[in-house]
Amino acid sequence: MTEESPEVTRLSHRESQIAQNYAGGESNQQIADRLCLAPSTVRTHLATIYRKLGVSSKLDLRDRLGAADSTMGDPDGAFPTHPEKPSIAVLAFENMSGDPEQEYFSDGISDDIITALSRSLWLFIIARNTTFTYKGSSVDVRRVAKDLGVRFVLEGSVRRSGDRVRVTAQLIDGATGGHLWSERYDGQLEDVFDLQDEITSNVVASIQTTVHLSTIPEPVERTSRPDLTVWELTMRSWHLLYDFTPESYAHAKTLLERALALDPESAEANMVLSLINHHIAIMGFVPDVKPTMETAYALARRATQLDDRNEYAHWALGISCWGLLKYEESLAALERAVALNPNCSLAYGSLGTLLGILGRSDEAIANQDVAIRSNPLDPSIFFRFSGLALAHYMAGRFENAIEWAERAIHRRPSWFFAHFLLVASHIALGHDEDATSAVNAALFASPEIRVEDLNRVPLKDSENMATLRDRLLKAGFPM
């Protein structure tokens, strides 16, 4: 057995795998498929490998590796390494009904969840044929996670009583055994397929958010390390997106600029940077929002060109269009996002907001209902609530608009658009004193709020826009 050179031992296990496969003749795409990575991530790793080993060609790489032992990485090779993407194993849901004939229902839910999760390019999902080998046995979830090389394990149970069925699901951190998310669903078996679809949609939408926010547990204060990969930089920025503060967004921009410097063709990094710019603009964290909106739009367009099957890229494109009055393009992008992943609650919610902007209130409410029902713990749910307020406002149901605007403000007191809808609805109902109180509360929460901020989320119909603006001015908002 030959001794490894010091340079080769500096490679991580993942870099060793890529180096060996690439030197052996595999293409970037073949390596990406083998290791469940994006091709752009493989390119980034190869650049790091070349730098660490001091080589400049595949031939040099082959020669350097040939001088080292081929057992780089995990010495025993007993367990697979975690993919760079968030990884999940969905175990067969346990049939607790005591009726073997109900096995089809519990298995069907597990199958549907696996299929639905597999549609997301952000996730790595263990196939059914593998996870179902644990069916019927008492398993240690941490052992399953280690055996399969995944970070998360989803397990659940189904219990039937008469015509009613109860389904429980829980997402577990495979490293610690701790519960990250759990939910219980009750329903009638009158239409078993509709019930199965509803449970699947709710489970998938909820755990997608939980997985994204749990993938990179390391505090962002430590992200100054120069060795972070494009994926790690992007995922940390995704976390920061949900802070909704100018400081977090400035930090995220720095991380994403590092990511794009490493790999300009990363669809994920372009997409998340678009989202950061969009939120900076829509939440008023820059004095002149138009250039930031245009930047968000260009980045989202770039992301969809790099990866047309990424539902989040199309979602980013859809919302980036609003402030630029590109309503038809927004509609096409958001409908594309939903078509690519029918369990993407963010796309459903934003589609609902767009339909409200367009004055299509009933359709707007239907889409917002899907988003809220399927992902009730979404940190950005205040956008869903203000979207419902907008839909009711546009339909002239001002009492309903007030109710939802107040719920949005409760979740995010600084969200200007919810304040606008609340005040305008009070004015429409002749509640002048309530409107004045609401204006004072808005200015207390966000002293810089002005009527001109309405241009961040402009309504398509100019008359509706003018009426909304007049009501805000009448209530006492500064221009």
pLDDT tens-digit series, residues 411-466: 999 999 999 999 999 999 999 999 999 999 999 999 999 999 999 999 999 999 99
- At residue 291, the pLDDT reads 96
pLDDT tens-digit series, residues 323-357: 999 999 999 999 999 998 887 889 999 999 999 99
Highest mean pLDDT among 157-161, 235-239, 345-349, 392-396: 392-396
- At residue 34, the pLDDT reads 62
Highest mean pLDDT among 156-160, 161-165, 377-381, 411-415: 411-415
Same domain, yes or no: 17 and 103: no
Q: Is residue 288 a part of any domain in this protein?
A: no
- At residue 1, the pLDDT reads 35
Domain of residue 15, residue span? 6-66
Overall pTM > 0.75: no
Q: Is residue 152 a part of any domain in this protein?
A: yes
pLDDT band at 390 (very low <50, low <70, confident <90, very high): very high
Q: Is residue 99 a part of any domain in this protein?
A: yes
Q: Give me the number of domains the chain comprises.
A: 2
Same domain, yes or no: 103 and 205: yes
Q: Which of 214, 244, 271 is the last residue of a domain?
A: 214
Q: Is residue 165 a part of any domain in this protein?
A: yes
Same domain, yes or no: 40 and 131: no
- At residue 4, the pLDDT reads 43
- At residue 223, the pLDDT reads 43
- At residue 103, the pLDDT reads 79
Same domain, yes or no: 48 and 132: no
Beta strands 87-90 and 124-125 are parallel
- At residue 283, the pLDDT reads 94
Q: Is residue 92 a part of any domain in this protein?
A: yes
Same domain, yes or no: 104 and 203: yes
pLDDT band at 258 (very low <50, low <70, confident <90, very high): very high
pLDDT band at 97 (very low <50, low <70, confident <90, very high): confident
CATH code for the domain in which residue 153 is found:
3.40.50.10610
Q: Is residue 280 a part of any domain in this protein?
A: no
Lowest-confidence segment of 63-72, 164-173, 233-242, 401-410 by average pLDDT? 63-72
pLDDT tens-digit series, residues 103-121: 777 888 888 888 788 777 6
- At residue 197, the pLDDT reads 80
- At residue 204, the pLDDT reads 82
Same domain, yes or no: 114 and 37: no
Same domain, yes or no: 91 and 209: yes
User: At residue 220, does pLDDT exceed 50?
Assistant: no
Lowest-confidence segment of 27-36, 108-117, 295-304 by average pLDDT? 27-36
Averaged pLDDT of the chain: 85
Q: Is residue 188 a part of any domain in this protein?
A: yes
Same domain, yes or no: 91 and 56: no
User: At residue 140, does pLDDT exceed 90?
Assistant: no
pLDDT band at 288 (very low <50, low <70, confident <90, very high): very high
Q: Which of 214, 244, 259 is the last residue of a domain?
A: 214
Q: Is residue 145 a part of any domain in this protein?
A: yes
- At residue 438, the pLDDT reads 97
CATH code for the domain in which residue 26 is found:
1.10.10.10
Q: Which of 214, 237, 253 is the last residue of a domain?
A: 214
Same domain, yes or no: 186 and 98: yes
Same domain, yes or no: 96 and 155: yes
Same domain, yes or no: 145 and 39: no
Q: Minimal CA–CA distance to 255: which of 265, 269, 271? A: 269
